[in-house]
């Protein structure tokens, strides 16, 4: 009996395990109710009386030794992974690649920074809006096509609750609660019921701007946008303003910038015109000011708005707007230097 105990102790001294499952198998083999150590207690009744004391002590020692050995093996594992007791904490760790900002975030922050240097603050508003803030207060007539279901996402068929189609709704909210002077920009996500393609999406981002004060003129608007274009696209950038129409501005204009790829000489990006359209702008219509309880006889203002996706596509030469929403790591890694 003593020889058997000694043999088991030597066997336990050499047991090893590489997984938690193997440790559990060793526990069952040696110290479970039907394990080898437990069997010794069953055989103890056959030991001669004169040896019972010595053999009993040896079995208890073996049992404790087996339990300690199993616990030692179990402690070497943490969530199924063996601990490396020989780990050198002074060794340099593995290098981690820096993360990247999304290109839309890069351009959005750059636009905010440029207008911030001109004294524009940032304001935001809700994405789920009502008809007043999105259309009526902005001088949209009831029959305007932008109100149609083809362009606007309405909430549960309620004609008064919708996903905003532009961040101009934030302009109204700011003018309702703030008296001039007002100088703010409004970045945000907008929604339009459009087919998704390489050039359009049902979700996109805008930055709009508003300046309302006494004696604000169209010349102020032009100089502000010229400064913005030069800061964003380079000092040699030129701009041109073409007459246009928006319900909430009068007069209104579309702004083009000289193509930064060909230097205005003409290429396939600018369709060989030398110009790229980037935003719409104009003087705030007096009806819009009056709807927000601002005296249009005392105050004037200008507003502008641009799509961040379009600016980003022009700035980085991206040809498919869908890249911005697919989260393809290969695409996003190209902007590591633009953090």
The domains of the chain, with CATH numbers, are: 2-82 (no CATH), 103-338 (3.30.930.10)
Task: Name which of 158, 138, 140 is nearest 149 in CA terms.
Answer: 158
91 class by beta-carbon count within 10 Å (0-12 exposed, 13-18 middle, 19+ buried): exposed
pLDDT for position 117: 94
Q: pTM of the entire structure?
A: 0.67
User: How far is it, in rounded angstroms, from Cα 165 to Cα 159?
Assistant: 14
At 292 the pLDDT is 93
User: Is 139 within 8 Å of 247 (Cβ atoms)?
Assistant: yes
Residue located via tokens 């073409």:
242
For 36-68, b/e burial (b = at least 16 CB within 10 A) is bbeebeeeeeebeeeeeeebeebbeebbebbee
Residue 164 CB neighbours (<10 A): 24
145's tokens: 């096509």
Which residue, among 236, 230, 241, 235, has the nearest Cα to 263 in the 3D structure?
Answer: 236
**Closest of 110, 29, 172 to residue 311, by C-alpha:** 110
Radius of gyration of the chain (CA): 37
Work out the end-to-end distance of the chain between its first and last CA atoms, rounded to an integer number of angstroms.
74
Strand, coil or helix: 21 = helix
Pairing of strands 275-284, 81-82: unpaired
In 3D space, the residue among 324, 315, 337, 330 whose CA is nearest the CA of residue 102 turns out to be 324
Gap between the Cα atoms of 278 and 107, Å rounded: 13
Per-residue confidence (pLDDT) for residue 259, from 0 to 100: 80
Residue 114 pLDDT: 95
Q: In tens digits, what is the pLDDT along the chain, a chain of 339 residues?
A: 677 777 777 887 888 887 878 878 877 887 787 778 777 777 767 777 777 777 777 777 878 887 888 788 777 765 555 555 566 777 777 777 777 788 899 999 999 999 999 999 999 999 999 889 888 889 888 777 766 655 788 887 767 888 898 999 999 999 999 999 999 999 999 998 888 887 778 888 999 999 999 999 999 999 999 999 999 988 888 999 999 999 999 999 999 988 877 767 777 667 788 888 889 999 999 999 999 999 999 999 999 999 999 888 888 888 888 888 888 888 888 876 554
pLDDT at 214: 95
Angle at 53 between CA 52 and CA 55, to 5 degrees: 65
CA neighbor of 98 nearest in space, from 322, 332, 319, 305: 332
């Amino acid at each position: 009996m003593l020889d058997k105990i000694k043999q088991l102790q030597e066997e336990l001294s050499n047991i090893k395990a590489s997984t938690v499952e193997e440790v559990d198998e060793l526990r069952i083999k040696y110290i479970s109710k039907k394990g080898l150590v437990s069997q010794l207690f069953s055989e103890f009744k056959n030991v001669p009386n004169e040896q019972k004391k010595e053999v009993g002590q040896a079995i208890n020692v073996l049992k404790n030794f087996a339990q300690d050995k199993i616990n030692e093996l179990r402690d070497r594992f943490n969530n199924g992974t063996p601990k490396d007791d020989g780990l050198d904490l002074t060794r340099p760790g593995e290098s981690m690649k820096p993360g990247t900002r999304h290109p839309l975030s890069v351009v959005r922050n750059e636009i905010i920074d440029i207008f911030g240097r001109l004294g524009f603050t940032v304001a935001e508003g809700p994405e789920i809006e009502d008809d007043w803030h999105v259309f009526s207060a902005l001088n949209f007539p009831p029959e305007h096509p932008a109100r149609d279901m083809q362009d606007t996402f309405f909430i549960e068929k309620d004609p008064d609750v919708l996903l905003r189609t532009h961040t101009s709704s934030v302009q109204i909210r700011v003018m309702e609660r703030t008296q001039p002077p007002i100088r703010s920009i409004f970045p945000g996500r907008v929604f339009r019921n459009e087919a998704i393609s390489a050039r359009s999406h049902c979700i996109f981002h805008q930055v709009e701007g508003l300046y309302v004060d006494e004696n604000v003129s169209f010349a102020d608007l032009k100089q502000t946008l010229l400064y913005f274009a030069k800061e964003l696209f380079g000092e040699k950038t030129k701009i041109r303003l073409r007459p246009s129409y928006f319900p909430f501005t009068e007069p209104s204009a579309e702004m083009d910038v000289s193509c930064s790829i060909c230097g205005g000489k003409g290429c396939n990006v600018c369709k060989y015109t030398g110009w790229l359209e980037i935003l719409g702008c104009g003087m705030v219509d007096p009806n819009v000011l009056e709807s927000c309880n601002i005296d249009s006889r005392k105050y004037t203002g200008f507003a502008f708005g641009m799509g961040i996706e379009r600016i980003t596509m022009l700035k980085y030469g991206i040809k498919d707007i869908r890249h911005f929403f697919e989260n393809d790591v290969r695409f996003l890694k190209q902007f590591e230097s633009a953090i």
